[in-house]
Amino acid sequence: MIISPSQIRAARALLRWSQKDLSEYSGVSAISIANLELEEKEPKAVTIQKILNAFDKAGIEFGEQDCVKRKGINVRILEGENWFIEALEDVYLTLIDSKEPELIVDMANDRVSPPEVIGMYKKIRNAGIRMRQTVEEENYYLMGPVSEYRWIPKKYFRNWVMLIYGDKIVLCLSEEQRALLINNKSLAEMERQKFNLVWDLLTPLNNIVSTADERF
Domain positions in the chain are: 5-71, 77-201
Share of the chain above pLDDT 90, in %: 60
Tell me phi and psi for residue 110, to 5 degrees: -55, -30
> Which listed CATH number (3.90.850.10, 3.40.640.10, 1.10.260.40, 3.90.1170.40) goes with 5-71?
1.10.260.40
Q: Are strands 130-136 and 102-108 parallel, antiparallel or unpaired?
A: parallel
Span 121-135, pLDDT tens digits: 999 999 999 999 999
Q: Are strands 73-79 and 67-70 parallel, antiparallel or unpaired?
A: antiparallel
For the structural domain made of 77-201, what CATH number should be given?
3.30.870.10
Residues of the chain with pLDDT under 70: 1, 70-73, 174-176
Q: What is the pTM of this model?
A: 0.69
End-to-end CA distance of the chain: 45
Compute and round to an integer the Cα radius of gyration of the chain: 19
